[in-house]
Amino acid sequence: MDDTTRTKIEAAAFRRLRQHLMQDRPDVQNIDLMNMAGFCRNCLSRWYQEAAAEQGIAMTKDEAREVYYGMPYDQWKAQAQTEATPEQQAAFDEAFAQNVGTGDKS
């Protein structure tokens, strides 16, 4: 497989994952994704931002989130995110430390 075809296939798979998380299963909370899989929608938007930077495209965290979520992040949170339980938050703190490290958890 040539690099162009591989890149097209990878991009299509990413778009399908985004569709699954944003349209097919918006009920699955980011905190549950992080706790179970070690990544969430915010991670995907951060990876998008990092990939843009590798191509010389400056993008803020908020800009990357708006691209990924298809709307400002605060708007998505208001319509889709529920309050975390203390148990979810404790598991998240552990998962975040293991998978992302220290830093901004928002």
pLDDT tens readout for residues 47-69: 999 999 999 999 999 999 999 99
Residue linked to tokens 């040539």: 2
The pLDDT mean for the chain works out to 92
Q: What is the pTM of this model?
A: 0.83
Q: What is the pLDDT of residue 95?
A: 87
Handedness of CA 45, 50, 56, 58 (dihedral sign): positive
| pLDDT for the residue numbered 96 | 87
What is the distance between the alpha carbons of residues 56 and 35, in angstroms, rounded to a whole number? 32
Looking at domain 29-95, its CATH superfamily turns out to be: SMc04008-like (1.10.3340.10)
Separation CA 49–CA 2 (nearest Å): 25
Distances (CA, A) of 35 to 29, 54, 85, 92: 10, 28, 12, 5
Residue 104 pLDDT exceeds 90: no
